[in-house]
Every structure is written in C-alpha cells, then in structure tokens.
Structure 1
Amino acid sequence: MNPSSPNTAEKKRQGSLFGPGLIIAASFIGPGTITTAIVTGADYGFTLAWSVVFSIIATLVLQEMAVRLGIGAGLGLGEAMRRALDNPILRTLMIILVVAAIGIGGAAYAGGDTTGTSLAVSAVAPIDMRIIVALIVVAIFSLLITGSYKTIERVLMVMVGILTILFVITAFVVQPPVGEIFKGIFAPSLPPGSALTAIALIGTTVVPYNVFLHASLVQENWEGVPKMQAMKEARLDTAASISLGGLITLAVMATSFGALFLHGMSAETAEDLSTSLQPLLGDASTWVFALGLFAAGFTSALAGPLGAAYAITGILGKSTDMKSPLFRGVWISVLAVGAIIALTGIEPIQLIVIAQAANGLLLPIIAIFLLVTMNSKKVVGDNANGLWANVFGGAITLVVIGLGCYQLADLLGLLPS
C-alpha cells in the first residue's frame, strides 16, 4: 500500500507531535543544567555560549540517528547493541558498562534532581524537606506506574512549557546586551580555567541514556504510522524540542550574565540569581526561580528512571513495555535509591564520580555504535546515513571521544593542576 494513500496518511500518533523530543529536552534540563548555566553566566559572561550551541548540535545529531534507528529499524538502542555484539565476552562487558553508567548514574542523579526539586519548594513553603521529598517521589511513582506514555508526555510538556515561559521572559526582563550574546555564540573562546565548565555544560546536555530513551519513545509515539510520515514528524519534533531546550539554557545564562556578570557579582546557586533579580522582579523573583527549579528538577527526576529502564531492559534483551515487571523493577529501583539519597541527605558525590567515569566511557561507545549502525542498510534500510549525516556524526563522535578522555583524565587526577 502506498504510504501516502488517504487510509494510511490518516493514522494518528499515540501521543502529540511534540512528544518524545520534549521528553528528551525535559530530561537534560535539570537543576544541574540550570545551576551550571547560572554559574557560567556569572563567572564568564556569555563567552561559553558556544559550548551550549555545540551541545545542542551534538544532541540533535545523536538523537536524530536514534530516531531513525527506532522508526527505520523498529529497534531500541539496547536491542540493536545486543544484536551487533555476537561475542559473549564483549556483550557481557557492554551490559556491565551500560548498567553501571545508566543504573548507578541514574540513581545518583535522581537523588540530586529530587533534592533540587525539594529545595525549590522549600524556598517558598516552610515545609519539612523530608515531607517534600516523599511527596515528589510519590508523584513520580504515581505517574510511572500508570505505564501510560500519553500521561507522562502531557505532564512533561506542561513542565517544559513552564520552564520556557519563566526563563525566557526573565531573560527579556534583564535585557543583556545582544551583541555580547552573539559574540559568545559565534566567536568561540575559552577563558583561563573555564575548560571544565565548558565540558560541564556539554555533559549536562549530551546524556547517554537519552539515546536509549529516544529510540524507544519514537516507537511508542508513532506506532502504526507509515514510516515516511513518522520520520518527518519525528525529525520536526526532535529539532524543535531540543532547540527549545538549548534556548532555555541560553536564557538562564543570559539572565545570569545580565543580572550578575555585568555588575561584577558571582553566583553559586539559583538563590543568588534570584536575590540579584529582586530589584527588577520584587518578591516574585523567589517564586519565579522556585517554580523554574521545581519544573526542571521534576522533569529530570521523572525522565531519569524512565530512561534507565529503557536502557537496561533493552541491553538485557528483555521487554521494554512500560508495564512489564522488569521495566517497572528498574525504574522503581532507580527512584528508590534516589529517594534514599534525598531523604537521608547523603552526598551522592562518590556515586556521581563513578557515574561520570562510566558515562565518559559509554558516550563515545554509543556514538561510535550509532554511527556504524546507521550506515548499515541491512539494519535501517532507506533510513541509513547519507554523506552529511556521516560528516556531522563523525565530527561529533571525535569530539565526544576527546571529551570522554579529558573527563576521565581529570577524574583520575592525570591533568596538570
């Protein structure tokens, strides 16, 4: 049957047009991204804005390949990796690496995201932190246990909408100099001592488990829709949603730039920026940033366990159905460990260091694997990479390999102080 015939063209998506892409954007815009953007804007102005733009381009390239893998081949990334690795030793090593990077990292970051969300609420409401953490965990559990893609998608869409409205409008209120913004984007520079900050900005955006998550979500959203139609819509979703995520990060940086850097002030937390905006926003400044941090934290705290479940069940060769026992077992475990970290006040620093090291190894492997897989017509058919996809994909792969080596060297103390 012709894919463009009336009968097939009328088939509907399971979710909205802007669904999986927005979930990916919601995933990488967490308290860590917001705080890093604030500190960067306060310490370096807009000189590192290019690293945000690069990270968005890198994310677009990797996630677009994940979209073609999911729709073109009907495969999740974990399943595709299992099929590609015939050697049982290599397959076992890959499973261990993915579980370590995604599982341990997801739990550590879930703790941080839940804590960040709780701090946002406690900033405007005098409620015990433990009660807030418990309520947030219950809310996330209640959403994920439904196993309903549509419900999760709608909640995250609302949260991303809140983030966009709050931070973009705040950036306009501060009115940072537009010329400096464009200079920071199009004239890359690296001030002394800013290398790790630039890597942090990239690392909070290019997240390994999002590639697993995206390849599976597009199958959920466009199930039964003709491939040509699905691919067109999924690419639009990916480009618009991830670009919006980058815009939010730049808006936060621009706000910090205008409110702090230009006045010679520094910042370590969102509260510092909130305080500096009181002359402009009055008492509303506290509410604005509390609501923004809550939305950022909640979206990441929800998407993290979901991404971990897709990645781990896929690499183990098990069902990625959101209602399957193992799938639920993974996200419940990740959420539970995150809740323990947040409730007990345990500093997840060691876990995060381990996760960073594992992610430093995993992201280049994923990038290489995607590049090889997306050149296989046997696997993805007509959705295989063309010349420009290989050029950009190859360049991004080389960069993430370099970043991974740099990150590991720094964690191992091999870099000169």
Structure 2
Amino acid sequence: MPKFVPIQSVKSVLFWSVISAAFIGPGTITTCAMSGATFGLDLLWTLTFAIIACTILQETVARITIASGYSLGEVIAMSYPTMKYLIGFAIVFGCAAYQAGNILGAVAGLQLIFTFDKVFMTLLVAFFASLTLALGKDKSIAKFMGIWVALMGLMFIFVATQATFSFSQVVKSVLIPFFPSNSALLIIGLVGTTIVPYNLFLGSGISKGQDIKEMRIGIRLAILIGGLISMAILVSGSIVKGEFSFVATVNSLNERIGVWAGGCFAVGLFAAGFTSSITAPLAATITMRSIVYTGHKNWAKYSSWTWVLVMVVGIIFGVLGTQPIPIILFAQALNGLLLPLVSIWVFLIINNQKIIPHPYQNSKQANFTLLIVIGIVIFLGLNNLQKAILTHLPFAVHPTFILLFIGILSLSAVIILWALGGKK
C-alpha cells in the first residue's frame, strides 16, 4: 500500500548502506582528507563522478541478480568457468591484504581518543568484527552497517559544516571539473576508492529477493549518502593546514574549531575502519560462495572459512603494527586488472538475452552511459596496474606515453563493446 512506501524506502536505504560502509574505509578517509588539505575544494567534482559511476554499476549488477535469480559471481562462474578461480583468488587476496589497514584504521581512530595498548585495541576491534560476522546473516549485517554509516556521516558532516566556504563555492566545486597541477594521482585515488571490484560482488550477493523498485531507491540514496560523507571528509580535510596525518588533522581541528571537532573526526575514522573490517571479509565470503563454491554440498562450511582467513591475516599484520606493503601492491595489480574485466562482464551479461529477460536489459541510452563509466573504469584500472608493475622496472617510462597508451586501449575496448551489444 502507498502509505508504507516511505518506510520500505528507509529500510532499503539502511540495507544498501552496506555498500557505503564498504567503500568508506581508512583509505577513503586518507585520500579524501589529503585531497582537501592539498587542493581545498578543487577535487569535489571527482566524487560527483564517482557517485554516479558507482550507482550505475551497482544498480546494474543488482538488476542482473533480480532478473536472473543468480548473483554476479554465479553468472560469471557459469559463463566463464575457467576464470572463476582467478576472480575468487583476486577478490579474497585483495580483501585480506587491505583488512590490516581496515583494522589499523579503526585502532587509529581509538588511539586519537584513548590511551589503551595498541595490540589490545587491535584484538578488541577484530573480536567485535568477528562476532558480528559469526552471529549475523548477510542481510542483518547489511542493516547493522547502515547504523554505523549514519554515525560516521554525522561525525564528518558536523566537522565539515565548520569550514568557511560559501554555498556557491561548494556547488561550483561539486559540478565543474578542475585539474590542479599534480592532482592526477589524487583524482584517480578518489574514484578508485569509491568504485571497488569486491563491492560489485557484495551488492549482487545481497540483492536476491529484492524488489527492483526499492532496490533502485535504496542503492541510489545509499551511495549518494556515502558520497556526501566522502565529500564531507574532503571538506573537513581542507580545514587542515600543513602536512597531512590523522594526528595533525585532529590537532588542527581542535585548535581551529574545538575539541569536539577533533573528537568527531576520530569517531568517524574508527567507524570507517570498523565497518570496513566487517565488509571486507563479508565481501570475500559472498564472492567465494557465489563463484567457487556454487553447487558444492559443503559450500556453507567452506565459505565461512573465507572470512576467518581474511580476518586472521588482518589481525596478524595489525598486531605486528606493520602494513603489508608488498602484498598490497600485488593486490592493487590484481584489482587493477579485475575491475575492468568485471565491468566488461557486467556489460555483456546485462545485454545477454539468454540470461536477462528483455524488460530488465539495458536500453541503448543506458548502454551508452554504462560504456562511458566502463571506459573510465578501464582507464583507472589499467593505470593502477601499470603503477604496481612499472615501479619495479629498472628503467623509466615517460608518463605521457603511458597515459596515451592506456587511453587508446580503454577507447578501443569501449568501441568493441558497443559493437558487440551496446548499439542494439
């Protein structure tokens, strides 16, 4: 009945906030706050694009699941069986590599407030994250994450409102692209930290049984809220002067605004790290369940060990107090290759009449928009891949040549996809 639609919409937004919780982690806070501290509001427009692109991709993969009854991982496993182990390994490996950063990010937030032993706080964060995963089901965890996203958002928005920018300045920065000198890496980072490959599997995996109308409302609003939180973090970072660090940020906020502002930033950092320390193992589990263990009689048993493995890796590096830099570089290379591949598969699947009924397929206009997003995703993914590879080469390659080559590859891929199914 119509009178219940608003309530259902709120529940849908709360449910889909797991996607926001997944992409707003310590890495996102670092990238956004550093962007604000370095360039002020000049890179806000990048997050506008990231919100739109993330929404398009997440809505598409959820529609695939609702229309076909299969998750994205299951469809890929059936359509491209030789690739399923590579995808499963890449997702789990990436989640495990970044899990230490998630846990340490939550601990960093706590350390800005409390003086407890770092190892104790690391184990405490890991314990409660593990407890949430062990006791909750996918959908209940998703709703639980929605609460944390709301808390995180309030903390950062309170701080951002204290910035001295006018409303017109903010609107201009949100809508009009601007490329400051030496900003390319942060632009790529802002988009890359919002659109991550495991989120596509996570969103698809939890969308089974959803109503498509409520799914669209939930995804659009949840990602918009997550994007606004990222923008608030960037604006908060613009208040900071000098070299960026979490401690310097809190000290600057305490001096310029008040102790409450630094406290809000610390709580927000903890919330971001804690939610990501839950969503990363959850995404790894859902991916393995849908890709590798599909049809296996003991899939529940084996897939549950996936999140345990990811959590243990995070705990080990967290307790050691070190970042697994070589592993993270390798994970970046894998994800740099994986995100473009998954995006291409998403396009091919949503236009496959044997899998997706006609009413759920993309229109010509929707395909055109999706291909623009995919082209940029391919460019960003290949760029991340080349950074991870070329940094270890004994010779230098001119950056302009690299970007031109990557641009040609990205454009070629888009043209081929358009010829295959986009111009129907």
* TM-score for both structures, normalised by structure 2: 0.86
* Aligned partner of residue 18 in structure 1, secondary structure: helix
Is the CA contact (8 Å cut-off) linking 1:341 and 1:347 kept in structure 2? yes
1:145 matched to 2:134? The reply is: yes
1:269 maps to 245
Structure-2 separation of matches of 1:319 and 1:248: 39
Counterparts in 2 of 1:322 and 1:284: CA distance versus 1, 3 Å: farther
2:65 maps to what in 1? 70
Map 1:362-377; keep pairs closer than 5 Å. 362-377=338-353
Output aligned runs, 1:84-233, within 5 Å: 84-85=79-80, 91-92=81-82, 94-219=83-208, 222=210, 230-233=211-214
Take 2:259 and 2:298, find their aligned partners in 1: how far apart are those partners? 42
Residues 240-249 or 274-283, more deviating: 274-283
Q: Distance in 1 between matches of 2:251 and 2:328?
A: 29
Q: List gaps (5 residues or longer) in structure 1.
A: 86-90, 223-229
TM-superposed deviation, 1:403: 1.3
Once the two structures are superposed, residues 208-229 of structure 1 have per-residue CA deviations (whole angstroms, 9 ceiling, x without a partner) of 0111111110116x3xxxxxxx
Instruction: Indicate if the aligned counterparts of 1:377 and 1:383 stay in contact, CA closer than 8 A.
Output: no
1:239 equivalent among 210, 220, 242: 220
Residue 386 of structure 1 aligns with which residue? 363
| Cα offset, 1:116, TM superposition | 0.7
CA RMSD of aligned residues (A): 2.4
Q: Is the 8 A contact 2:14 2:147 kept in 1?
A: no
Give the Cα separation in 2 of the matches to 1:203 and 1:319.
33
- Structure-2 separation of matches of 1:363 and 1:351: 18
Q: Structure 2: give runs of 5+ residues left out of the alignment.
A: 391-395, 400-424
C-alpha displacement at 1:286, in angstroms? 3.1
Superposed CA offset, 1:117-160 (max 9, x none) = 01111221111111111111111111111242353133211111
| 1:26-71 Cα distance to aligned partner (Å, 9 max, x none) | 1000011011111001111122112111111111110000110111
CA distance, structure 1, for counterparts of residue 145 and residue 291 of structure 2: 26
The verdict on how the C-alpha distance between 1:147 and 1:326 changes in structure 2, with shifts beyond 3 A counting, is: farther
User: Higher relative contact order by CA 8 Å / sep ≥ 6: 1 or 2?
Assistant: 1
Query: Alignment partner of 1:412: what SS?
Result: helix
Query: Is 2:258 the partner of 1:282?
Result: yes
Is the Cα contact below 8 Å between 1:114 and 1:298 reproduced in 2? Answer: yes
Map 1:322-401 to 2 at 5 A: 324-381=300-357, 382-401=359-378
* Distance in 2 separating the partners of 1:114 and 1:340: 10
TM-superposition CA deviations, 1:237-278 (whole Å, max 9, x none): 000000101000111111222x13xxxx23422322221122
TM-score (normalizing by structure 1)? 0.88
- The one-character-per-residue Cα deviations of 1:66-114 (angstroms, maximum 9, x if unpaired) are 11011111111111001112xxxxx33x234323321111011111010
In the alignment, the residues of structure 2 paired with residue 252 and residue 302 of structure 1 have an alpha-carbon distance, to the nearest angstrom, of 21
Q: Which amino acid aligns with 1:31?
A: P
How big is the shift at 1:161?
0.8
Q: Percent identity?
A: 31
